[in-house]
Amino acid sequence: MSQRIGIAESEIRVIIEAWADAVRRHDLPAVLAHHDDDIVMFDVPPPLQSRGMAEYEKTWDLFFAYHEPGQAFDVEELQICAGDTVAFAVAIMRCGSATVSGPPVPGGFPFRLTIGFRKVDGAWRIRHEHHSVPATD
């Protein structure tokens, strides 16, 4: 792995961990900090697709209504593939239950996360975010 790619992967890891920490703290400006204005997100609860920063920001109202500050929102597994100007990350996350960030909370669940990045003016920006849960059928 080239040093440049290793640095890109480290930068992206820091962004994802900071995003997860911001979610735990309900710090909306920090949640939004690295997202592109043209973000596209696919989510578990409706709306299934959000386009643009205003729609993406609005999805956090519902989440924060059910997720108490300090509850788990943790990266359990993370893989990053980075090039010079685009990258993606895939993760298994845990929301609201026993993890390193806190004690057990009833109703917690694992979910999958995919994030697409592009480098703009030397900084990584989140262009696509996809949350999903395994089908129960």
For 6-49, what is each residue's pLDDT tens digit? 899 999 999 999 999 999 999 999 999 999 999 999 998 888 89
CATH numbers and ranges of domains, the chain: 3-128 (3.10.450.50)
Task: Identify the pLDDT of residue 16.
Answer: 98
Residues 84/3, Cβ–Cβ less than 8 Å:
no
Task: Identify the pLDDT of residue 94.
Answer: 87
d(CA 23, CA 102): 14
Task: Identify the pLDDT of residue 101.
Answer: 53
**Residues whose CB falls within 8 Å of the CB of residue 81, separated by 6 or more in sequence, listed in order:** 87, 88, 89
Task: Identify the pLDDT of residue 106.
Answer: 56
Task: Identify the pLDDT of residue 56.
Answer: 96
Bridge partners for 50 per DSSP: 41
* pLDDT per residue as tens digits for the range 48-105: 899 999 999 999 998 898 888 888 888 999 999 999 999 999 999 988 764 445 555 5
Task: Identify the pLDDT of residue 137.
Answer: 72
Task: Identify the pLDDT of residue 27.
Answer: 97
Nearest to 42 by CA among 30, 33, 51, 31: 51
